[in-house]
Structure 1
């Protein structure tokens, strides 16, 4: 079924959109794919929030799978601390997600305006957060992007977990029983996600809850730096600075949650058994989960997802650090990048290939171009091959690999002497063979500088 939306005159209020039984009003917020607007059931007067998604934008950004995932996830979640999905409608150009209306805004705004919360108020919100996240895990749902911006607060001061666009379900687990997609927001992401070796969705969500608890009680992030490499180093170490005035019970719990080792990190059930957590704890009452089913238009699920044959064959196979930054709407990137060295004596790019594979691939590329190769101390030196009778003026380039973390490396190509034009030609060929983007080149410079 394709829904037809129509506008009607409302006198002094101007023009409003009527969508089936819903009257659409003011804009509540804007996202990557459209707007969130206030909606009202014409028959009952009950308020809702409608997430309006542009189909064209979803297709262009290849995010149809993410939207379908969010809808499928919200359909099975019915908990007082999770935003409810009531209905999904569609027109030829848009998708309309009718959601529970939460009128208190984001928890981020609450902290930004009030600063840190009191111990009792902070604990109450954290208890609700753990209740909601535990429920999701029991349903096989892992949020993977828990942060202050994705936790809403209603008029009664209760929290509602929202934005399940990056969530994972049991079918997303690989044969090893782990998740492997690198996603989340840098300040809240668990160290095992960054290591790119697979991770447990429940354990990584627990880490994010610990970051949220820290911010609620202190007013600032436990791990923060404008330089991504420095931020990663802080997360990997898990070295949290605890204010002296923070209650000892909260300190101990935060330390157990922000344990960089996922195998020894405290579990959700152990959090609920913690003495500090249990104070004044009132578990959430879950109603009848069969009370209503979510109505979804067939048209919603007809968004075309590009097949493997339609995707760019030169696109990176793995999600790299730069793409991780792009997932965060809250990270300030101003001043993060610097201009290229005008002399172009050093060019760098990031890769997830092993050092051995990187050097072997570079050797193959430059050999095909007619250059000779010398290896020494883990470095690869590209030199003029006189047998090939190249016209270069003694071009000499050194290739070296630096480790940022066990799964992310920076390759540096450094010109020792020779013509810039031929050196750049060599670099362009290497970049093409590796499928390197300009963003990877700029990011590598900052990562290497920081490390």
Structure 2
């Protein structure tokens, strides 16, 4: 499994376009190299001309944010950062503006994204990982105490400076108390697929603090293992894995680390551990020194022209009459009971390791039919944790050993299921025969609904 950076900023330090603002003056700041580039602007290195203090300036194109319908998103990011003064949260100093641009003057962090750190160096030992996690929890719980909920916590949005200190960034999807509905919950489905909490995908409302805890748990898992707890190329199957919360926690982690991960990655938000509970956990508390928030809240200067853009009243962005309704992938999957999602799945060939196919049989019928089919073919069946393990000994060519295949069924909607077969070991030719037999008997339409394959 390979971690993939899905951050909305491209690092293009060698691009000729990076020179467009270099050397330009913005009040008391001189702009330098481009640190990152996104859909609606750039992040530039800058220096205070008088003090030589470094900053990062996020340059936002007003026309682009209007075109992308993200005016409220920018307002929320500014409003959230204005409230936050904590060692583990990137600091906003001021917001400047022109008729066409918004300039957010931010703290410059000398270091790297936690994503880059894990990709380049691999998993961290528990002592180093715990120190980063403690700082992450300090920063996130402080945000919650100020009524700010991040909603897009992931490795790419956690910076680690040269001294090994964590700073949380990118509050573009954050929510604040006034965005909660009458039921006390948030309802906008957002976040990054591998880090999003199951209750967000369920599309029935969620608590911002509880969902942030889940995302912190995913980050902790990656820090300590080097890979994601829930991962799949197919978004519909990834959604089901997250929703079930069936995470495989490595046995080589300490009992304390295993326990806290299990308590955080609880798919039930009602029983999931809280921020307060995490801070009382024995594994978390080892060598823990809480961070002190800045006692004095600085006044953040915000130019009135920064908000001379469309005024929007609700969390849901304004649409002009007649414009199409926009839904994201989470919402589409949440509506899956009304849709045929077989179109999500690519047609591929049976691989040497894993296949998937769709079926409209019920889960009960699928399990029974699979058991009948593999038994007729001479396999033994074992049931464990909702999965089937089918085993067949090769009596003719004993050198090949026994064939072992794991069969798992995922519910995508009430009328659509995905069957996944994974070969653990054994004769590939017999495995292919088994796959083709099940495809012919159970898939809909036959042979046309393979969803993914993986060659190892």
TM-score, scaled relative to structure 2: 0.68
Superposition misfits of 4+ residues, deviation over 6 angstroms: 306-309, 322-325
CA contact (8 A) 2:203 2:331 kept: no
Match of 2:269 among 258, 262, 268: 262
Matched, 1:273 2:280: yes
> What are the within-5 Å matches in structure 2 for residues 167-178 of structure 1?
167-178=174-185
Output the aligned Cα RMSD. 2.7
CA distance in 1, matches of 2:178, 2:125: 40
Q: Give the Å deviation of 1:404.
A: 3.4
Equivalent in the alignment of 1:161: 168
Q: Secondary structure at the match of 2:42?
A: strand
CA distance in 2, matches of 1:15, 1:124: 37
Q: Give the Å deviation of 1:225.
A: 0.2
Equivalent in the alignment of 1:321: 330
CA contact (8 A) 1:172 1:179 kept: yes
CA distance in 1, matches of 2:60, 2:299: 22
Q: Give the Å deviation of 1:309.
A: 8.1
CA distance in 1, matches of 2:48, 2:178: 35
CA distance in 1, matches of 2:67, 2:325: 18
CA distance in 1, matches of 2:214, 2:450: 28
Match of 2:112 among 105, 110, 123: 105
Q: Secondary structure at the match of 1:16?
A: coil
Match of 1:294 among 279, 288, 300: 300
Match of 2:228 among 221, 229, 232: 221
CA contact (8 A) 1:224 1:231 kept: yes
Residues 18 and 249 of structure 1, relative CA distance in 2, 3 Å threshold: same
Q: Give the Å deviation of 1:315.
A: 2.3
Match of 1:189 among 196, 213, 218: 196
CA distance in 1, matches of 2:412, 2:182: 28
CA distance in 1, matches of 2:207, 2:24: 43
Equivalent in the alignment of 1:233: 240
Q: Secondary structure at the match of 2:183?
A: coil
Residues 318 and 29 of structure 1, relative CA distance in 2, 3 Å threshold: closer
CA distance in 2, matches of 1:85, 1:309: 27
> What are the within-5 Å matches in structure 2 for residues 59-70 of structure 1?
59-70=66-77
CA contact (8 A) 1:238 1:259 kept: yes
CA distance in 1, matches of 2:241, 2:114: 24
Match of 1:404 among 403, 409, 412: 412
Matched, 1:205 2:212: yes
Give unpaired runs (5+ residues) of structure 1: 1-13, 326-334, 340-402, 411-447
Residues 145 and 258 of structure 1, relative CA distance in 2, 3 Å threshold: same
Equivalent in the alignment of 2:439: none
Q: Secondary structure at the match of 1:105?
A: strand
Deviation by residue 1:143-185 (Cα, 9 ceiling, x = unmatched): 0000000001111110100011111001000000000000000
Q: Give the Å deviation of 1:321.
A: 2.9
Equivalent in the alignment of 2:65: 58
Residues 224 and 197 of structure 1, relative CA distance in 2, 3 Å threshold: same
Q: Give the Å deviation of 1:96.
A: 0.6
Tell me the matched-pair count.
328
Residues 322 and 450 of structure 1, relative CA distance in 2, 3 Å threshold: farther
CA distance in 2, matches of 1:27, 1:323: 36
Equivalent in the alignment of 1:124: 131
CA distance in 2, matches of 1:173, 1:16: 43
Equivalent in the alignment of 1:74: 81
TM-score, scaled relative to structure 1: 0.68
Q: Secondary structure at the match of 1:245?
A: coil
Deviation by residue 1:373-416 (Cα, 9 ceiling, x = unmatched): xxxxxxxxxxxxxxxxxxxxxxxxxxxxxx8358xx98xxxxxx
CA contact (8 A) 2:77 2:173 kept: yes
Q: Give the Å deviation of 1:99.
A: 0.1
CA contact (8 A) 1:229 1:450 kept: no
Match of 1:18 among 15, 20, 25: 25
Q: Give the Å deviation of 1:338.
A: 5.0
CA contact (8 A) 1:185 1:324 kept: no
Q: Secondary structure at the match of 1:176?
A: coil
CA distance in 2, matches of 1:114, 1:215: 12
Give unpaired runs (5+ residues) of structure 2: 1-20, 335-342, 348-410, 417-448
Greater alpha carbon shift after TM alignment, 306-315 vs 240-249: 306-315
